[in-house]
């Protein structure tokens, strides 16, 4: 246990009032003497106390000799967060931490009245917290004065880059004074984050408080293997087995969120959904339902769940496998916070077990592999929970006691107890009966993986890849036009750095190849694409990826250098955000991200 060093009286009083008797690891690190006045790059998980940590770290730059701040003609501190919810949460934390100093905290986020925010900015707040887009808008309109800024904090910087906010961040940071401190907090440290640190920080002190063993010491990781057709049944049984006060189910797409939300609602679960298709008002209502207990389950996409802080969250279920180890830790980090225990469960189709094992190895996470809880295991848990609830001491009102005596006069004690158990069970959704996890079941699932008509296919290749912004959304119609086929006649598509491979059923492969060759003779930009057979197929994909994986020793400024492409074909694809990782890393950010920001050479 680490105690706080000597702090300004107003800050010490605020911590004592909130019951802070000892510092968390990240709070202790930022208060070390060697960190005073320096730029900081901090690797800290969400829920580790980092908001209070950077609040304490910047106190020396904001308070005067009397430990006060008061009216500020221009903001002294700026905190940038990826989402509205996180910005509001940070504002609340800083408001009580600096409440005795006289400092005012302003919040600028999307979905709020910008005119009202401009009035608050004009009233002299010392600390401004906001999201990148709204802060940039206020700055460009002249409402946000950054000339006196002493400290800039980037909270969850990796998520902001993933969401495509690089251009906004650079526009804001470029407008700040050269002498200001920059505190960069990020759960992960990918190369774009390191590039951002090199550009905007000087002699930064690196602080890492994330355990090497696994992302969160208070999270129990589990993995369950199922047939791909039984994933939703597995979700039902996991929810019934754990009966968590609050649970989050992570899906990869909004369509999956919509479908799973409807399925669980039909099964009787108190569930809400969060995805990109929900308005801010719907989002606020869903979060409030979770906080006040009207809902206990949230189905969400990765982006929609960013910035969510639910103190009662004890279960995270990865309904669809995370795209990489960092996403796994980010999702799971929504639980197991501030010393509370949490459980993170990965639902793994039989065929994906090796891939998930490799991901867990990269994240240094030791997960316990289990079968999905069956009806018997859930029944045993239900009985234990019911006994615990019924045997807990309670104060009985006289009216309830009179009703109990009346029931005893009509029925036996055994009948009354049985009726009570029946009433309890009737309110719970029924568990599902799943196929046993046997070698035969896994073999049958492997047979069912192939789409009808794609048992025998031919691989073709195209001379475009990720560096050309290749995307299945426009590759599919392009192949239909070039090969005179339909979407249903195109199998798997694999996009590498410089090339793309796709499957065509062998029965129509010759017809497709001939049509592609004829259309390739036309005088058009689209026809300039080379489409040819590639019998090597996936072996070629794997070798291509290995050969083109960038070396860690190669200098990198954090930006992806796109291959110049003169030809234009089909619908113009969305450009990759500058925050996108190199080949083999994270997928590009949101489709509507702004065009990559071009840095000026120093």
pLDDT in tens, 362-385: 888 899 999 999 999 999 999 998
Residue 259, burial from CB neighbour count under 10 angstroms (0-12, 13-18, 19+)? middle
Q: Which residue has the higher pLDDT, 78 or 493?
A: 78
For the cut 60, the answer to whether the pLDDT of residue 8 exceeds it is: yes
The mean-pLDDT minimum among 271-275, 392-396, 511-515, 552-556 falls in: 552-556
- Coil, strand or helix at 234: helix
The average pLDDT across 481-502 equals: 88
Q: What average pLDDT does range 285-292 have in this prediction?
A: 89
pLDDT of 593 > 60? The answer is no
Percent of the chain at pLDDT above 70?
Answer: 82
Q: Is the pLDDT of residue 548 over 90?
A: no
pLDDT of residue 447: 60
The mean pLDDT of 59-82, rounded to a whole number, is 87
Helix axes 254-267, 231-242, angle to 10 degrees: 60
* Average pLDDT score, the chain: 81
- What one-character-per-residue DSSP string does 439-494 give? HHHHHHHHHTTSPTT-SSEEEEEES--GGGT--HHHHHHHHHHHHT--GGG---EE
Helix (H) or strand (E) run with residue 61 in it? helix 59-62
CA distance 193 to 45: 15
Q: Is the pLDDT of residue 114 over 80?
A: yes
Which band of pLDDT confidence, cut at 50, 70 and 90, is reported for residue 58?
Answer: very high
Number of other residues whose CB lies within 10 A of the CB of residue 542: 13
Lowest mean pLDDT, pick from 194-203, 225-234, 237-246, 553-562: 553-562
Q: What is the pLDDT of residue 525?
A: 58
Tokens of 328: 């796994």
Q: Identify whether the C-beta of residue 235 lies closer than 8 Å to the C-beta of residue 367.
A: no
pLDDT over threshold 80, residue 563? no
- pLDDT value at position 138? 95
Closest among 166, 227, 236 to 443, alpha carbons compared = 227
DSSP state of 564: P
**Where would I find the H helices in 341-392?**
353-362, 375-391
Query: Is residue 79 helix, strand or coil?
Result: strand
Q: What is the CATH number of domain 9-208?
A: 3.40.50.300
Sheet holding 151-155, edge to edge: 105-108, 127-130, 77-80, 151-155, 181-186, 40-43, 205-208
As a whole-number percent, the residues of the chain with pLDDT over 90 amount to 35
Is residue 578 scored above 80 in pLDDT? no
Which residue has better confidence, 314 or 547? Answer: 314
Q: Do the domains 219-377 and 9-208 match in fold?
A: yes
In three-state secondary structure terms, 553 is coil
- The residue to which tokens 């009179």 are assigned: 402
Looking at per-residue pLDDT, the higher value among 420 and 149 belongs to 149
578-600 average pLDDT score: 43
Task: Indicate the DSSP class of residue 153.
Answer: E
Bridge-based pairing state of the strands 246-251 and 493-495: unpaired
User: What is residue 289's predicted lDDT score, i.e. its pLDDT?
Assistant: 92
pLDDT score at 551? 40
Least confident of 71-85, 120-134, 246-260, 534-548: 534-548
Q: Tokens standing for 336?
A: 């197991």
Please tell me the predicted confidence (pLDDT) of residue 569.
45
Rounded to an integer, what distance in angstroms lies between the CA atom of residue 472 and that of residue 455? 22
Domain 457-548 fold is Alpha-Beta Plaits (3.30.70)
Q: What backbone torsions phi and psi does residue 226 show, to the nearest 5 degrees?
A: -145, 165
**Per-residue pLDDT at 470:** 85
Give the model confidence (pLDDT) of 24-44 as tens digits.
888 889 999 999 889 999 987
Tokens 């995370």, residue located: 322
Q: What is the pLDDT of residues 425-480, one digit of tens each?
A: 787 888 888 877 767 666 666 665 556 677 788 899 998 888 888 888 888 889 99
The whole-angstrom separation of Cα 353 and Cα 380 is 28
Length in residues, the chain:
602
The ranges assigned to domains in the chain are 9-208, 219-377, 457-548
Q: Which of 187, 186, 184 is nearest to 197 (CA)?
A: 184
Q: Nearest to residue 229, comparing CAs of 62, 351, 107, 373?
A: 351
pLDDT in tens, 389-430: 888 888 888 888 889 888 889 889 888 888 888 887 787 888
**Rounded alpha-carbon distances, angstroms, from residue 235 to 187, 231, 315, 433:** 28, 6, 12, 12
Assign 125 a pLDDT band (cuts: 50, 70, 90): very high
Q: Where is pLDDT greater, at 255 or 539?
A: 255
Does 286 have pLDDT greater than 80? yes
- Confidence class for position 580, pLDDT limits 50, 70, 90: very low
- Alpha carbon of 256 to those of 134, 299, 301, 445: distances in Å? 30, 9, 9, 21
Q: Which candidate, 51, 60, 62, 59, places its Cα nearest to that of 27?
A: 51
CA distances from 370 to 215, 223, 236, 345, 521 (A): 21, 6, 16, 10, 56
Quote the pLDDT of residue 523: 53
- Which residue spans within 233-380 are E strands per DSSP? 246-251, 271-274, 297-301, 313-318, 342-349, 368-370
Per-residue pLDDT at 560: 36
Q: Which of 243, 229, 281 is nearest to 380 (CA)?
A: 243
pLDDT at 568 over 70: no
Q: Over the stretch 237-247, which tens digit does the pLDDT of each residue have?
A: 999 999 999 99
115 vs 455, residue with greater confidence: 115
Q: Tell me how far apart the alpha carbons of residues 217 and 340 are, in angstroms, rounded to a whole number.
A: 10
pLDDT band at 210 (very low <50, low <70, confident <90, very high): low
What is the structure's pLDDT at 443?
66
Greatest alpha-carbon pair distance for the chain in Å reads: 94
Residue that wins the pLDDT comparison between 27 and 280: 27
What pLDDT digit, counting tens, does each position of 318-338 carry? Answer: 999 988 887 888 788 878 765
Residue range 219-377 forms a domain whose CATH class is alpha beta
Q: Give, for 501, the enclosing helix (H) or strand (E).
A: strand 500-505
Pick the residue with more confidence: 570 or 203? 203
Nearest to 108 by CA among 157, 59, 143, 61: 143
Residue with tokens 């009083």: 13
């Amino acid at each position: 246990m680490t105690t706080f060093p000597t702090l300004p009286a107003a800050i010490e009083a605020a911590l004592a009032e909130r019951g802070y008797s000892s510092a968390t690891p990240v709070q202790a690190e930022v208060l070390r003497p060697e960190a005073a006045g320096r730029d900081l790059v901090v690797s800290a998980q969400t829920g580790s106390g980092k908001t209070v940590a950077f609040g304490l770290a910047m106190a020396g730059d904001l308070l005067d000799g009397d430990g006060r701040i008061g009216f500020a003609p221009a903001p002294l501190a700026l905190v940038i967060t990826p989402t509205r919810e996180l910005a509001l949460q940070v504002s609340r934390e800083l408001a009580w931490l600096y409440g005795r100093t006289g400092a005012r905290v302003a919040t600028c986020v999307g979905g709020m009245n910008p005119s009202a925010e401009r009035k608050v900015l004009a009233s002299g707040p010392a600390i401004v917290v906001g999201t990148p887009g709204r802060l940039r808008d206020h700055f460009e309109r002249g409402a946000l004065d950054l000339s006196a800024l002493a400290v800039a904090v980037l909270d969850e910087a990796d998520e902001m880059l993933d969401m495509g906010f690089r251009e906004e961040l650079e526009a804001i940071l470029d407008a700040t004074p050269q002498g200001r401190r920059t505190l960069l907090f990020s759960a992960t440290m990918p190369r774009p984050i390191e590039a951002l640190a090199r550009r905007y920080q000087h002699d930064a002190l690196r602080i890492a408080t994330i355990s090497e063993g696994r992302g969160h010491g208070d999270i129990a990781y589990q993995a369950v293997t199922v047939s791909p057709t039984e994933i939703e049944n597995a979700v039902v049984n996991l929810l019934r087995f754990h009966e968590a006060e609050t649970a989050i189910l992570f899906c990869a797409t909004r369509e999956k969120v919509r479908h799973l939300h409807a399925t669980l609602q039909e099964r009787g679960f108190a569930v809400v959904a969060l995805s990109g298709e929900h308005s801010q008002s719907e989002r606020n209502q869903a979060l409030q339902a979770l906080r006040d207990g009207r809902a206990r389950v949230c189905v969400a996409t990765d982006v929609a769940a960013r910035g969510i802080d639910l103190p009662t969250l004890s279960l995270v279920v990865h309904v669809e496998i995370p795209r990489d180890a960092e996403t796994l830790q980010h999702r799971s980090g929504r639980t197991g916070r501030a010393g509370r225990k949490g459980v993170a469960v990965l639902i793994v189709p039989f065929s994906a077990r090796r891939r998930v094992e490799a991901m867990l190895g990269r994240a240094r996470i030791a997960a316990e592999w289990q079968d999905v809880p069956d009806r018997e295991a859930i029944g045993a848990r239900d009985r234990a929970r019911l006994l615990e609830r019924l045997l807990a001491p309670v104060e009985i009102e006289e009216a309830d006691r009179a009703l109990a005596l009346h029931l005893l006069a009509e029925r036996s004690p055994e009948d009354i107890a049985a009726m009570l158990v029946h009433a309890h069970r009737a309110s719970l959704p029924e568990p599902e009966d799943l196929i046993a996890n046997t070698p035969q079941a896994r073999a049958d699932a492997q047979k069912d993986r192939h789409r009808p008509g794609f048992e025998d296919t031919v691989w073709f290749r195209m001379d475009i890849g990720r560096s050309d912004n290749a995307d299945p959304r426009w590759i599919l119609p392009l192949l239909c036009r070039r090969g005179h086929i339909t979407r249903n006649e195109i199998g798997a598509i694999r996009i590498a750095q410089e090339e793309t491979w796709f499957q065509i059923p062998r029965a129509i492969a010759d017809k497709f190849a001939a049509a592609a060759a004829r259309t390739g003779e036309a005088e058009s930009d689209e026809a300039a694409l080379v489409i040819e057979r590639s019998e090597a197929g996936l072996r070629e994909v794997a070798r291509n990826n290995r050969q083109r994986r960038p070396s860690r020793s190669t200098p990198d400024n954090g930006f992806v250098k796109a291959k110049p492409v003169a030809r234009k074909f089909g619908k113009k694809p969305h450009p990759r955000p500058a925050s996108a990782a190199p080949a083999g890393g994270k997928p590009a950010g949101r489709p509507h991200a702004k065009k990559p920001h071009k840095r000026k050479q120093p």
